Amino acid sequence: MRVVWSASLSKEVQQTPVVLQLLDSGNLVLRGEQEGDSGTYFWQSFDYPSDTLLPGMKLGWDLKTGFERRVISWKSADDPSPGDFIWAVERQDNPEVVMWKGSSKFYTTGPWNGLSFSAPTTRPNPIFNFSFVANEDELCYTFSIKDKAVVSRIVMNQTTYLGQRFTWSNNTQTWDLYSKAPRDECDTYGLCGAYGVCIISKSPVCQCLKGFKTKSGGYMDWHEGCVRSKALNYSRQDGFIKFTELKLPDANFSRVSKSVNLKECREKCLENSSCMAYTNSDIRGGGSGCAMWFGDLIDMRSFPDGGQDFYIRMSASELGMKGEPTTKIVVLVISAVALLAVVLISGYLIHKRRRNIAETDQENEDQNIDLELPLFELATISNATNNFSINNKLGEGGFGPVYKGTLVDGQEIAVKRLSKISDQGLKELKNEVILFSKLQHRNLVKLLGCCIHGEEKLLIYEFMPNKSLDYFIFDQTNSKLLDWSKRFHIICGTARGLLYLHQDSRLRIIHRDLKASNVLLDHDMNPKISDFGLARTCGGDKTEGNTNRVWLYGTGIC
């Protein structure tokens, strides 16, 4: 008998017979005769990914045994021997996934931030769940599929130098490309050198960070990177500049302290002359933990739609904290004090007048208006949205920005912060909230409550995790994820919501701005019509009426 294939067993076989079985997941397992007990697997193909990573496979380390699972490209399309490219999890204090070309780094994902890697290719989305486990037993990345009807795989391609994620199309019976890494020039590892940042929308794509300059002062090889415009003091006189929307740099020379908050992290970094930058190691719940970088910062790029805040050490003179001429400082201080005095006096007089008027109006309104929806405290909403952080911003419409928030009980919310330029008054706002609290339908976005605090007017809605319909149907890649059964389900749900507004609700409401971006999708891809604020109000038996405009554009009540 000639042996054509053999494998190392993960545990000793102490029972017979044994069974070789291909599971529905694609995992080929050698197990005991008793089916269903993964603890009896003597060997499984999921421990040896080759050039392909399937849902449920682990990429990374078994820290108890030291066993590593890596994805390795084939040498060619018809030669399965190991090629030049490797996907692997870096076993370090601040782990990340790295694509190697031979012994050189080719691409990095950036460190895991609690929700995804710093690069947005693994950002939470309606199709995939991504997870990263880092504990005493293992250090690994894996993904799963939310919709069991979707079939997907990741392939490390030797020819195209890409890690490609494919989904299977039943319509064309082909594998469609869903995403790839690297995606563009800016994903090339270390393209812009130390303290350089890659901005794909600019030419050249490499730019020096604020406070840094090119070494030569002109055209250069960007691999040389940038140097500081002003040298550090390497003392507590230094400070930090906050950079936003960044992919975090190579985490090889970073350290993590999970029990330290951001304020304490700043102090720890300031005390260590080798610390060049810091940020939260986990961005969930407003941020926690401390990640500090030591040495040059390499492999940064701008991500306007999903980067992270990053605090880079700067000299006091760069920040304008010290070293200004005495005369200039005196003039600035006197001017500031004088301006402050004028502002305070003017503000006091205006506030006193407004308070006298508001107290009378508020007493009358509070006696006659009984809101059916909860009134949220501004502090509650501010805490839920991380003080209306740019990282929580979902978008912005004609009447103000919308933020994602999480209440203390874990409920996710969407907060519409109405612009101060709106001519909507307090009385009109309360009347509208009372009116729309009576609209209840499974295919309408639910208004959870409001917040009125001074000039702040906030509307709190249920959060829709799968964004809006236009995110799918107008995107060449995402549109392939909606088969006709899902599309028909969304069409029917939208029609039911419109029927309720037009016919079955207490008021006849005609939606004047129904479009794909106003059809939101919940966790189960159920459609919810949004932006159905008032444009006209009149009696239920009328077709026209004298009405006042309000700030929510989109519908009329007839």
Whole-angstrom distance, CA of residue 385 vs CA of residue 375:
17
Q: Which of 13-22, 83-92, 458-467 has the lowest mean pLDDT?
A: 13-22
Q: CA angle, corner 166, sides to 120 and 184, nearest 5?
A: 45
Label residue 478 exposed, middle or buried (CB < 10 Å: 0-12, 13-18, 19+). Answer: middle
* Residue 369 pLDDT grade (very low, low, confident, very high; cuts 50, 70, 90): very low
- The per-residue pLDDT for 236 is 84
**Mean pLDDT of the residues in the chain:** 82
Whole-angstrom distance, CA of residue 58 vs CA of residue 144:
11
* Residue 363 pLDDT grade (very low, low, confident, very high; cuts 50, 70, 90): very low
Q: Which of 30-44, 160-174, 351-365, 534-548 has the lowest mean pLDDT?
A: 534-548
Extract the tokens encoding 558: 């007839």
Rounded to two decimals, what is the model's pTM? 0.60
Enumerate the domain spans of the chain.
1-48, 53-183, 196-319, 378-557
**What's the rounded mean pLDDT across residues 7-19?**
69
**What's the rounded mean pLDDT across residues 276-293?**
94
**What's the rounded mean pLDDT across residues 344-356?**
75
Closest-CA residue to 374 (of 415, 434, 427): 434
Q: Look up residue 159 and give its DSSP letter.
A: T
Extract the tokens encoding 239: 């400070």
Q: CA angle, corner 382, sides to 381 and 386, nearest 5?
A: 115
User: In the sheet that 308-314 helps form, which strands lie side by side, from edge to edge?
Assistant: 206-208, 196-198, 300-302, 239-247, 308-314, 275-279, 290-294, 254-257
Model confidence over 452-482: pLDDT tens digits? 887 788 889 899 988 889 888 888 778 888 8
Q: Residue 339: is its pLDDT beyond 80?
A: yes
* Residue 366 pLDDT grade (very low, low, confident, very high; cuts 50, 70, 90): very low
* Residue 537 pLDDT grade (very low, low, confident, very high; cuts 50, 70, 90): very low
Model confidence over 395-440: pLDDT tens digits? 876 567 889 999 888 888 999 887 665 555 555 566 556 666 777 8
**What's the rounded mean pLDDT across residues 439-449?**
86
**What's the rounded mean pLDDT across residues 270-280?**
95
Provide the angle, in degrees to the nearest 10, between the axes of the packed helices 426-436 and 326-368: 50
Q: How far is CA 328 from the centre of its chain?
A: 43
- The secondary structure of 512-545 as a DSSP string is S---GGGEEE-TT--EEE-----S----TT-S--
**Number of residues that make up the chain:** 558
* Residue 447 pLDDT grade (very low, low, confident, very high; cuts 50, 70, 90): confident
**Residue 215 carries which side chain, given as an amino acid letter?**
K
Whether 522 is catalytic is: no
Catalytic residue among 93, 296, 483, 513: 513
* 56-66 residues labelled b (16+ CB within 10 A) or e (exposed): ebbbbbbeeee
**What DSSP element (H or E) covers 110?**
strand 104-111
Computed from CA positions of residues 394, 397, 401, 402, in that sequence, does the dihedral angle turn out positive or negative?
Answer: negative
Model confidence over 215-258: pLDDT tens digits? 766 556 787 889 999 999 888 889 999 999 899 999 999 999 99
| 279 close to 310: Cβ distance less than 8 angstroms | yes
Q: What percent of the chain has pLDDT over 70?
A: 80
Extract the tokens encoding 271: 């005390």
Q: Are strands 52-53 and 412-417 parallel, antiparallel or unpaired?
A: unpaired
| 400 close to 382: Cβ distance less than 8 angstroms | no
Extract the tokens encoding 304: 């306007």
- The per-residue pLDDT for 357 is 58
- pLDDT, greater one: 221 or 503: 503
- The per-residue pLDDT for 408 is 83
**What's the rounded mean pLDDT across residues 39-54?**
88
Q: Give the chain's end-to-end CA distance (angstroms, integer).
A: 86
**What's the rounded mean pLDDT across residues 287-313?**
92
- The per-residue pLDDT for 409 is 82
CA-to-CA separations, 461 to 328, 426, 501, 548, in angstroms, rounded:
50, 19, 18, 24
What counts of helices (H) and strands (E) characterise the chain?
Answer: 7, 34
* Residue 179 pLDDT grade (very low, low, confident, very high; cuts 50, 70, 90): confident
- The per-residue pLDDT for 38 is 55
- pLDDT, greater one: 544 or 165: 165
- pLDDT, greater one: 304 or 383: 383
Model confidence over 134-160: pLDDT tens digits? 999 999 999 999 888 889 999 999 887
Write the secondary structure of 327-378 as one string of H (helix), E (strand) and C (coil).
HHHHHHHHHHHHHHHHHHHHHHHHHHHHHHHHHHHHHHHHHHCCCCCCECCH
* Residue 163 pLDDT grade (very low, low, confident, very high; cuts 50, 70, 90): confident
- The per-residue pLDDT for 147 is 83
Residues 6+ positions from 247 with CB-CB distance below 8 Å: 110, 118, 119, 299, 300, 301, 302, 303, 307, 308
- pLDDT, greater one: 434 or 263: 263
* Residue 493 pLDDT grade (very low, low, confident, very high; cuts 50, 70, 90): very high
Q: How far is CA 290 from the centre of its chain?
A: 19
**What's the rounded mean pLDDT across residues 292-320?**
90
Q: Residue 534: is its pLDDT beyond 90?
A: no
Superfamily covering domain 378-557: Transferase(Phosphotransferase) domain 1 (1.10.510.10)
